[in-house]
Structure 1
Amino acid sequence: MDAITIKNLDVVFGDKPQQALDLLDQGKTRQEIIDETSQVVGVDNVSISVKEGEICVLMGLSGSGKSSLLRAVNGLNTISRGALEIKDVDKQVDLATCDEETLRHLRTHRVSMVFQKFALMPWLTVLDNVAFGLELQGMGKAERREKARTQLEMVGLSEWESKFPHELSGGMQQRVGLARAFAMDTDILLMDEPFSALDPLIRAQLQDELLVLQEKLNKTILFVSHDLDEALKIGNNIAIMESGKLIQHGQPEEIILTPENDYVRDFVAHTNPLNVLKGRSLMQPVSELKREQSRLQICSAQPVWVEQGSEELNLVQNAQLVLHYWDSEQSKISEIDHSTVVVASPDIGMREAIELKQRSGQPILLVEKGKLVGVLNDSEFYDALLGNYNSVEAA
């Protein structure tokens, strides 16, 4: 069951939303509707689902509708038409039709939010800011403070619990906001450009910390960002919006490799592909390698051949080289030198693959289920750096 399911959602700001909806059905643009009715279409017929444990990043230029969509997920924006279902234990609750009591329940037990401006209460200590949502849930003082201390320890602020927000740096204040949201122990976390007001180094650090926390807590996160590199770094999926419409939704690599239109293409034009692309997307497939009977030449510049066995590869008549099956969690980079031919997964990241190639000087062999599927050599790395990958389909 998906954590969030959105079906044909429209959000209109104004006192006569039906007029705007009628014009939408006639094919009018957002600007035409504003000119005719003074109603603003924030979200236009969006359908999207977010799986449990997924980080989905909403992206777009200012006014694209990403924050309007996010705020509909916890009822801050009224749904004009369509359905927006939130998983509540073993059932789905539609925010378009639920009553106020159900909405309050979802906000206090299922959905929490981290704001761009931190939204800390200046008269409360750090500890009581983190515990504030638990107080709204009706939890006793001793219990909520104990839980808040656990969350402060998780974000590295245990020694600051008695301080007030003005005594903390911006990055520390945002950590308090994260701790408060995680303390609620809700299934779904909404994050509205939470790091955009921070310095680049602090932002990168908090992005890393969020990913570490996500590994431990496995929340469903809907994250608004205008920074594509941030989206590519943290998102399992990215949804790009324009004028209230959903333009493209997919995995980061898919967004980079197969942009839906010029709007998306412009978005990805200046990003660093090495942060996203995997070996599978750029490899020279095994079908293009020179073959002699059961042997495959893995490098045209030198006579290095391999033979495909039933479950593994073997080097052919080359006593100077050894195969090293690379495991990024168990192998050490110091084990790789110019006598090594690295065997890796097709899902290896390009940064890691380039480092391995630089140390070994040999092609990187990509193996899946014991079978050679492709090779990464210098030309493939040059293609990645130059952006020559638009013709390659995302895996």
Structure 2
Amino acid sequence: MDSLTNEHLRGWKTRSRVSSHSTPSFATHLSVFHITKAFISPRGTISALADVTFTAFQGEFVALVGPSGCGKSTLLRLVAGLLAPDSGQIEFPGWPQPPKRRLVFQDHALFPWMTVADNVAFGLEMDGIDRTDRRQRAIAQLESMGLAGFADHYPHELSGGM
């Protein structure tokens, strides 16, 4: 599979803006300059991204579309700060530091041996937050989503949309 390049993005002409009342206040534009990313495998070097450059403006809805294995998820992981590019730069103009980024995985990423509350609190545990505070914060998050009644259930006991 070829890596994602600017050649792939050249046909991308359609830009769509959402109305300002539906744009969150934290939305800002994103600039990606000459990003490259490769991975080493037993079969050699695999180029995932090759000199990718684009800008997404505030209020735009951006979709990355391409065949499986072309580098879409790699680009999203780079923008989210989960990976570092081999070269190039990712900027959030107007922000003194990159905004907190969020990423929704295409498949659920839950630990099957942990309860729903423990899964929600896992990041807090990694940040060293004490057990009682983690539990309270996890329950508050679950309450905000109408899922507090499932705090002590396990992932296999939930529906896919939960």
Q: TM-score, normalised on structure 2?
A: 0.65
Give the Å deviation of 1:56: 3.2
| 1:91 counterpart = 2:96 | yes
- Which residue of structure 2 aligns with residue 255 of structure 1? none
- Which residue of structure 2 aligns with residue 120 of structure 1? 110
Task: Return the structure number with greater relative CO, CA threshold 8 A, min gap 6.
Answer: 2
- Which residue of structure 2 aligns with residue 150 of structure 1? 140
Unaligned runs of 5+ in 2: 1-26
The 3 A distance-change label for structure 1 pair 118 and 62 is same
Question: Structure 1 vs Structure 2: percent identity of aligned residues?
Answer: 40
- Which residue of structure 2 aligns with residue 69 of structure 1? 75
Query: Which of 44, 53, 58 is the matching residue for 1:47?
Result: 53
Query: Which of 19, 23, 33 is the matching residue for 1:7?
Result: 33
Task: Within 5 Å, give how 1:123-272 maps onto structure 2.
Answer: 123-172=113-162
Give the Å deviation of 1:166: 1.7
- Which residue of structure 2 aligns with residue 387 of structure 1? none
Deviations 1:322-376 (A, max 9, x none): xxxxxxxxxxxxxxxxxxxxxxxxxxxxxxxxxxxxxxxxxxxxxxxxxxxxxxx
**Greater radius of gyration (CA):** 1
Give the Å deviation of 1:83: 0.5
Aligned residues: 135
Unaligned runs of 5+ in 1: 16-36, 94-105, 173-395
Distance 1:4 1:141 in 2: 37
Please say if residues 59 and 66 of structure 1, whose CA atoms lie closer than 8 Å, have aligned partners that are also in contact: yes
Q: Secondary structure at the match of 2:161?
A: helix
Q: TM-score, normalised on structure 1?
A: 0.30
Please say if residues 9 and 46 of structure 1, whose CA atoms lie closer than 8 Å, have aligned partners that are also in contact: yes
Q: Secondary structure at the match of 2:33?
A: strand
* Residue identity matched to 1:62: S
Distance 2:59 2:136 in 1: 26
Q: Secondary structure at the match of 1:153?
A: helix
* Residue identity matched to 1:116: Q
The 3 A distance-change label for structure 1 pair 54 and 149 is farther
Report the structure, 1 or 2, having the larger helix content.
1
Deviations 1:176-219 (A, max 9, x none): xxxxxxxxxxxxxxxxxxxxxxxxxxxxxxxxxxxxxxxxxxxx
Distance 1:135 1:54 in 2: 35
The 3 A distance-change label for structure 1 pair 11 and 147 is same
Task: Within 5 Å, give how 1:306-345 maps onto structure 2.
Answer: none
